[in-house]
């Protein structure tokens, strides 16, 4: 299915999504000051509970590689199904 970029722009401009992006950026800046991440290091600031699952910065974050943070199981529409990556599921 082809992506509808206009629709994505509308979604990303919603006040709720803008607030989520602001919170993500704020946490990344905080971790940059603490020296835990650097620009271009390939690391993501991963929230323990995803924003679309009702999470927040207060619930905690971890620093992960980008590939590990973006490898969650998703449904056919691209929605997050499980916050546990394939690697973590194999460990259990």
- The full DSSP string for 18-58 is HHHHHHHHHHHHHHHHHTS--TTSSEEEEESS-GGGT--GG
- The pTM of this model reads 0.70
**Cβ neighbourhood burial of 59 (10 Å; 0-12, 13-18, 19+):** exposed
The average confidence (pLDDT) of the chain is 85
Region 38-61 average pLDDT: 87
- 9-47 tens-digit pLDDT: 999 999 999 999 999 999 999 999 999 999 999 999 988
């Amino acid at each position: 299915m082809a992506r509808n970029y206009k629709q994505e722009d509308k979604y990303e401009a919603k006040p709720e999504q803008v607030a989520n992006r602001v919170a993500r950026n704020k946490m990344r800046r905080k971790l940059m000051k603490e020296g835990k991440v650097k620009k271009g290091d390939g690391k993501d600031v991963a929230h323990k509970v995803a924003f679309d699952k009702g999470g927040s910065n207060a619930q905690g974050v971890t620093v992960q590689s980008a590939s590990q943070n973006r490898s969650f199981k998703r449904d056919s529409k691209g929605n997050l199904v499980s916050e546990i990556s394939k690697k973590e599921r194999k460990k259990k």
